[in-house]
Structure 1
């Protein structure tokens, strides 16, 4: 669903939840922005902890958008079958069945096309998100138990797309998201997702807890070079293979555990592209006192932005 084709809600509030690395991150927003949030602890029963927060704040009967944990789905890039859009997911389901280890009957397949100008318009490609059917049912049952109006189950790639579109960048944007052990680099332009690339470098590798700006250790500097190389390869593919020109800017999402400001100048110099930290506080944060909208809360917010709330 393109971000400007939004669903309308009769409610003035909405819940967004991202499930990420076994944790859950929830935001409550109204038309002004995020007014409450909740982040569960690692190792806890994430849904049970979020349930307590929802009941404590009496948030039942609100519309809800859930963004899946990356561990809960696979994303495949395939040649798009020559079918109408409403038949795309079924057609991709047939193609993807030989690419997964479990029976296709146990999976839900949702397809969405790359923008028509990708690959200079010479190739029609589509993403296929392959999700465990039992996991979907678990989330549906959980929402029903809490009397929530589950509107959509989506994936981070599309939640962050909604977030980027809401900020209305004038050029293509690369979004960098770093977790403890790994990262992801997404490329968006004009309301479309063009590519997503897994990165085998995380904040633990960069030693950010011990780094201050301009004081990178040799090992950290080497890891930073690896990170810059992965980003550069992604941008080169976007420019040469996808035919989309140079990436206008990079937005670095704030990790859930540490700050990354210390590495931004060195990383920016290495990739020769403007990089800024994706700060959402002035645009969306209406919490008092304000909690920082780090990557997982920001992704939960992005999912919820697929719904226009009643004023």
Structure 2
């Protein structure tokens, strides 16, 4: 079974009425979830979010859903970043329904395990001038057994899993909530690494991972932090320049930055390092935020995990597309 079946197809079924959707993401030491309501007209509302430190038991999410009377119609799980690969390659000239299987044989020499044991899917890129599709694509590859194990863990917790996806596409979903004619980028500095994606025409076109994390920024002294920003700025600028050489029909309109490091203004520090327009990514500017009951003062609610929220946003995009059609 290919990734297009075991993992998520990029567009889940749309609903004409308001529906609720669960997104789940897991890091080595944290489990996060979010529930988003997709209105029939395609508007997104964040109904709730939660994070659990240390214990990665999926049953915690089930209990949280019941406690807060949330009944999602679908659930999407994000694979951890070290359990899949994204490989650029020349797209096969076959019908869309045959693309995943054709991709499997194109990438068999690019992975270090038997292709028969792989889940594979194919993401087509826009043409460099923006007219139609390119001859280039991205292959998403993961080990079938690892995907199955994640699916079993979620279903064992009583959660009916609808799809398995990857964090880069969760971030893509967020940017797709407010599409722009030109490309835009999103930089997220997470608990274990930083991620940069570039989206154009609703498609993930470029991605980068940097071995720098929010805890590293927070713990660094002033001199070390400045060096980290210079290094990060150089990589962001190089990525933008390479993207604009490949996709000459557009330019990166702006780089959105999640302000994920306490007491550090990432936008202010990064902006002088690049020639791009840099702005803070505030989730409330992209969707409606509807808070659950405020927790006690000694248990503050953490900021929403963008990966979990992006996973839950999938159905909202489809509902919007259906209305537009």
TM over 0.5: yes
Tell me which of 14, 31, 49 is aligned to 1:8: 14
- Cα 1:170–1:237 change in 2 (3 A) is same
- Of stretches 231-240 and 62-71 in structure 1, the one that deviates more from structure 2 is 62-71
Distance 2:302 2:48 in 1: 9
Give the length in aligned residue pairs. 299
Contact 1:88 1:112 in 2 (8 A): no
Q: Which residue of 2 aligns with 1:77?
A: 88
Tell me which of 49, 52, 58 is aligned to 1:40: 52
Q: TM-score, normalised by structure 1?
A: 0.83
Contact 1:65 1:154 in 2 (8 A): yes
Q: TM-score, normalised by structure 2?
A: 0.80
- Of stretches 277-286 and 298-307 in structure 1, the one that deviates more from structure 2 is 298-307
Q: Which residue of 1 aligns with 2:240?
A: 235
Distance 1:108 1:120 in 2: 30
| Residues 228-284 of structure 1: CA deviation (Å, up to 9, x unaligned) | 0000000000112332443110011243xx337523123112102221121112523
Distance 2:256 2:72 in 1: 34
Distance 1:16 1:126 in 2: 26
- Cα 1:86–1:260 change in 2 (3 A) is farther
* CA shift for structure 1 position 107: 1.6
Q: Is the partner of 2:170 in helix, strand or coil?
A: helix
Tell me which of 285, 290, 297 is aligned to 1:286: 290
- Of stretches 27-36 and 233-242 in structure 1, the one that deviates more from structure 2 is 27-36
Contact 1:178 1:203 in 2 (8 A): yes
| Residues 34-92 of structure 1: CA deviation (Å, up to 9, x unaligned) | 11212121x31242432332344455673112222212211111111111111111111
Distance 2:253 2:67 in 1: 44
Gaps of 5+ in 2: 295-300, 321-325
Gaps of 5+ in 1: 212-216
Contact 1:173 1:247 in 2 (8 A): yes
Distance 2:85 2:181 in 1: 31
Tell me which of 259, 267, 271 is aligned to 1:268: 271
Contact 2:46 2:289 in 1 (8 A): yes
Equivalences for residues 11-26 of structure 1 within 5 A: 12-26=19-33
- Of stretches 92-101 and 143-152 in structure 1, the one that deviates more from structure 2 is 143-152
Distance 1:145 1:47 in 2: 8
Q: Which residue of 2 aligns with 1:214?
A: none
Distance 2:266 2:72 in 1: 43
Distance 1:170 1:64 in 2: 30
Q: Give RMSD over aligned pairs.
A: 3.0
Distance 1:110 1:46 in 2: 28
